[in-house]
């Protein structure tokens, strides 16, 4: 598997057929390889942005591990 990583997101190509994206706290997302690399990149960017927006929407409703709730109303 070849991959590009940073602290938050890992993107890799597995068996040259699947694009794998791992975002901490999420399961792997698998995409069939498109015919062109630009289509893969475009699909990946859209998917990552969708997940980031989803995470943003969920942030004010989650509990933290220490039992505290985020301050959502002052």
For the chain, domain boundaries: 2-59
Q: Quote the pLDDT of residue 47.
A: 72
Tell me the CB-side half-sphere exposure of residue 68, using CA atoms within 13 A. Answer: 4
Neighbours of 23 (CB within 10 A): 17
Rounded Cα distance between 63 and 3, Å, is 32
Rounded Cα distance between 68 and 7, Å, is 25
Tell me the per-residue pLDDT of 14-73, one tens digit each, with 9 for 90 and over: 655 666 666 666 655 555 555 666 666 777 777 777 777 766 554 444 444 555 555 555
Rounded Cα distance between 6 and 11, Å, is 9
């Amino acid at each position: 598997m070849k991959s590009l990583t940073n602290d938050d997101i890992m993107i890799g190509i597995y068996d040259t057929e699947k694009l794998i994206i791992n975002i901490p706290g999420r399961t792997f997302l698998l995409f069939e390889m498109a015919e062109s690399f630009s289509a893969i990149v475009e699909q990946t960017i859209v998917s990552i942005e969708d997940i980031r927006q989803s995470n943003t929407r969920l942030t004010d409703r989650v509990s933290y591990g220490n039992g505290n709730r985020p301050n959502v109303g002052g």
